[in-house]
């Protein structure tokens, strides 16, 4: 199959939200009113971010989901995306499933694929996502304030635990793996939460490299510290069943691929966050507080600091 035949067959779709989509030297998009563009890129590389035998439908979903998660963390409405894909070969059944997974999620959030690139080479996937948000409503990392409550969405550690099982570092039962595997293979971007937090949260970030690493970015940017309550971490039954294991505790604190949101909110808005949780049907949990100083201290059930060995995932460590 020729390159442009591949693009036309699997990745050329109508893009009603743009002036010009796939097929020219560049896409043309218009931004409405006083909105600004939120732009982010994420790359998924075979052997680093996913296993070689990954289900192509789920991989298509995840390729877009991890980028939508960045839009959620900014409080932005996702609008457009480009896809650069390197393929060992033009495997048509694989492409059919991958593109179906990608576009099913794109349709859910009205995201147009407006361009990209293809090449022959080791399997890698790179999406650039563009969204809209007003400058006044955008959620920044550097906005945390002294006394803010620290919240997270969903559950922590499921994706890292599922990967540890696949890599043979821990053994899960079939039911435990079934519970935590969706977080690894089919993460759910928290777009609706990001939009609901506009005008309420002082700062936000998506948890891709682990809670401590990503919260650390908020703390560094805001020049403040945090105190977290370890027993308050929201975990699934699968993680809880093995929580005595140091590796599993590390999954919850430092494991990557959660793609939940971590955000800080003035204490006066505590009830508003609980109301948002109820409206969205999404668990939101206060896990700590922003304090003076720097860095993050994690307290155990006795109120004593825990010894944390790894803060999160680092590609070059």
Which CATH number belongs to the domain containing residue 80 in this structure?
3.30.1330.10
Is the domain of 124 the same as that of 151?
no
| Axis crossing angle, helix 246-254 with helix 211-222, rounded to the nearest 10 | 40
Percent of the chain past pLDDT 70, that is, above it, reads 93
Is the domain of 224 the same as that of 183?
yes
Is the domain of 93 the same as that of 17?
yes
Q: Is residue 31 in some structural domain? A: yes
* Token representation of residue 17: 């939200």
Is the domain of 199 the same as that of 276?
yes
Question: Could you tell me which residue, 102 or 310, shows the higher pLDDT?
Answer: 102
Which of 193, 167, 161 lies closest to 284 in space, CA to CA? Answer: 193
pLDDT at 33: 78
Express each pLDDT in 107-156 by its tens digit: 999 999 999 999 999 999 999 999 998 888 989 999 999 999 999 999 99
- The DSSP result for the chain, as a single string, is --HHHHHHHHH----TTSSB-TTSSS-B----TTEEEEEEEEEEEBTTTB-TT--HHHHHHHHHHHHHHHHHHHTPEEEEEEEEEEESS--HHHHHHHHHHHHHHHHHTTPEEEEEEEEESS-EEEEEEEEEEETTT---GGG--TTPEEEEES-SSHHHHHHHHHTTSS---HHHHHHHHHHHHS----HHHHHHTTTT-SEEEE-SS-HHHHHHHHHHHHT-EEEEEGGG----HHHHHTTTSHHHHHHHHH-S----EEEEE-GGGHHHHHHHHHHHT--EEEEEEEESSSEEEEE-TTSPBP--S--S--TT-
**Does residue 25 have a pLDDT over 60?**
no
* Token representation of residue 155: 């559950």
Is the domain of 228 the same as that of 98?
no
Instruction: Choose one of 68, 102, 134: the last residue of a domain.
Output: 134
Q: Is residue 229 in some structural domain? A: yes
Instruction: Choose one of 103, 134, 165: the last residue of a domain.
Output: 134
**Does residue 78 have a pLDDT over 90?**
yes
Is the domain of 245 the same as that of 276?
yes
Percent of the chain past pLDDT 90, that is, above it, reads 74
> Could you tell me which residues come within 8 angstroms of residue 182 by beta carbon, excluding any fewer than 6 positions away?
158
pLDDT at 204: 96
Q: Is residue 315 in some structural domain? A: no
Is the domain of 248 the same as that of 228?
yes
Is the domain of 177 the same as that of 126?
no
Neighbours of 138 (CB within 10 A): 17
Q: Is residue 306 in some structural domain? A: no
Q: Is residue 216 in some structural domain? A: yes
Q: Which residues of 37-57 are buried (b: 16+ CB within 10 A; e: fewer)?
A: ebebebebebeebbeeebbbb
In which band, very low, low, confident or very high, does the pLDDT at 81 lie, cut at 50, 70 and 90? very high
Q: Is residue 311 in some structural domain? A: no
Lowest model confidence (mean pLDDT) among 7-16, 142-151, 259-268: 7-16
In which band, very low, low, confident or very high, does the pLDDT at 76 lie, cut at 50, 70 and 90? very high
Is the domain of 127 the same as that of 178?
no
**Does residue 9 have a pLDDT over 60?**
yes
**Does residue 309 have a pLDDT over 80?**
no
Instruction: Choose one of 134, 151, 169: the last residue of a domain.
Output: 134
- Arithmetic mean of pLDDT, 68-82: 94
**Does residue 314 have a pLDDT over 50?**
no
Contact of 259 with 206, CB cutoff 8 Å: yes
**Does residue 38 have a pLDDT over 60?**
yes
Express each pLDDT in 170-221 by its tens digit: 999 999 999 999 999 999 999 999 999 999 999 999 999 999 999 999 999 9
pLDDT at 210: 94
Query: d(Cα 152, Cα 235) in Å, to the nearest integer?
Result: 11
Q: Is residue 157 in some structural domain? A: yes
Query: d(Cα 144, Cα 221) in Å, to the nearest integer?
Result: 9
Query: How many structural domains does the chain have?
Result: 2
Is the domain of 96 the same as that of 199?
no
In which band, very low, low, confident or very high, does the pLDDT at 35 lie, cut at 50, 70 and 90? confident
Q: In which residue are the tokens 């109820």 written? A: 278
Q: Is residue 257 in some structural domain? A: yes
Is the domain of 17 the same as that of 98?
yes
* Token representation of residue 264: 């800080």
**Does residue 11 have a pLDDT over 90?**
no
pLDDT at 18: 66
**Does residue 47 have a pLDDT over 80?**
yes
What's the CATH number where 205 sits? 3.90.650.10
pLDDT at 5: 81
Task: Report the chain's mean pLDDT, rounded to a whole number.
Answer: 91
In which band, very low, low, confident or very high, does the pLDDT at 284 lie, cut at 50, 70 and 90? very high
Full domain range(s) for residue 23: 3-134
Is the domain of 151 the same as that of 109?
no
Lowest model confidence (mean pLDDT) among 30-44, 104-118, 232-246: 30-44
């Amino acid at each position: 199959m020729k390159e442009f035949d591949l693009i036309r067959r699997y990745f050329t779709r109508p893009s009603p939200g743009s002036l010009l989509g796939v097929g020219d030297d560049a896409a043309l998009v218009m931004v409405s009113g006083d909105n600004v563009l939120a732009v982010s890129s994420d790359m998924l590389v075979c052997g680093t971010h996913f296993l070689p035998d990954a289900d192509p439908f789920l991989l298509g979903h995840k390729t877009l989901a991890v980028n939508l998660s960045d839009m959620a963390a900014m409080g932005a409405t996702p609008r457009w995306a480009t896809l650069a894909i390197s393929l060992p070969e033009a495997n048509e059944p694989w492409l059919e499933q991958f593109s179906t997974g990608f576009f099913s999620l794109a349709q859910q959030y009205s995201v147009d694929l407006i361009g990209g690139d293809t090449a022959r080479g080791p399997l890698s996937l790179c999406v650039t996502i563009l969204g809209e948000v007003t400058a006044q409503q955008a959620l920044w990392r550097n906005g945390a304030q002294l006394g803010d409550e620290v919240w997270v969405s969903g559950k922590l550690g499921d994706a890292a635990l599922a990967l540890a099982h696949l890599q043979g570092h821990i053994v899960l039962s079939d039911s435990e793996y079934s519970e935590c595997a969706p977080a690894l293979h089919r993460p759910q971007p928290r777009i609706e939460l990001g939009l609901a937090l506009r005008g309420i949260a002082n700062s936000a970030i998506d948890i891709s490299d682990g809670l401590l690493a990503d919260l650390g970015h908020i703390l560094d940017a805001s020049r403040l510290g945090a105190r977290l309550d370890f027993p308050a971490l929201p975990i699934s039954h699968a993680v809880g069943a093995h929580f005595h294991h140091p590796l599993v505790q590390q999954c919850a604190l430092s494991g990557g691929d959660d793609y939940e949101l971590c955000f800080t909110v003035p204490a006066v808005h505590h009830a508003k966050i609980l109301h948002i949780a109820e409206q969205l049907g999404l668990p939101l949990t206060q896990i700590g507080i922003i304090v003076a100083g720097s860095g993050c201290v994690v307290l155990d059930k006795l109120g004593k600091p825990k010894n944390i060995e790894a803060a999160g995932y680092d590609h070059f460590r």
